[in-house]
Copies of this chain bind each other. A is one copy, B any other.
């Protein structure tokens, strides 16, 4: 088992069977000691958060598997805080795919002249940003992704379709716990030209409300993992 990459919140190892092992760490992104999933640098360490994010991810990846949606997820070992996944290549230098069910946050900061904060988007809206701290994670269109050679139009269409499906499944699961999914952020990669969901599905990747109030990531994790 060879460490191939040391990430901010996960280390990556290559396995002999051709798969990849993700080791979830207790390091979190944040600023000045305050946890903020939107930040791009490690700001603090929270005991057990690696395992909590892994368990949350297992929860959702297992649901997706049951529903017949292929992702990079193979299996996991909570004790060791590891997840075995299919090898996948990220698009470009990394993309974030956002699905919005309620218009808020940066969507309103951009398009607030056209839509009220809090408006429901029943069919979901998908948009893509480049991971580029320096440039403020700029929004990018399907046409620009194709032009820059990041992904083909067909790959974009597949990614968008999967994003809508997966978001719907996650939202339905959260709804059972009285939680209201506003938006969620995914990463996709490709494996033999097939576009699949990669990385994690954890509380830091979604904006969730309960009884009209935002639920912070750590509380959200505990609600999701409640038996």
Give me the interface of A with B, judged by CB distance under 8 Å.
92-93, 109-115, 121, 125-127, 130, 132, 135, 138-144, 147-150
A111 touches B148 (CB 8 A): yes
A132 to B114, CA, bound (A): 11
* Residue in B112, B121, B138 whose beta carbon sits within 8 Å of that of A110 in the complex: B138
Q: Inside 8 A of A141's CB, which chain B residues have their CB?
A: 127, 139, 141-142
Chain A contact residues: helix, strand, loop or mixed: mixed
8 cross-chain pairs, A with B, having the tightest CB-CB distances, nearest first: A110-B138, A114-B148, A141-B141, A125-B147, A139-B139, A113-B132, A115-B148, A93-B113
Closest chain B residue to A126 by CB distance? Answer: B143
Q: Inside 8 A of A139's CB, which chain B residues have their CB?
A: 110, 138-139, 141
Q: Inside 8 A of A109's CB, which chain B residues have their CB?
A: 135
Q: What are 25 A-to-B residue pairs whose CB atoms are below 8 Å?
A: A93-B113, A93-B114, A109-B135, A110-B130, A110-B135, A110-B139, A111-B135, A111-B138, A111-B140, A111-B148, A112-B135, A113-B130, A113-B135, A114-B130, A114-B150, A115-B148, A121-B147, A125-B144, A125-B147, A126-B143, A127-B141, A127-B143, A138-B139, A139-B141, A142-B142
Q: Inside 8 A of A138's CB, which chain B residues have their CB?
A: 110-111, 139
Q: Inside 8 A of A147's CB, which chain B residues have their CB?
A: 121, 125
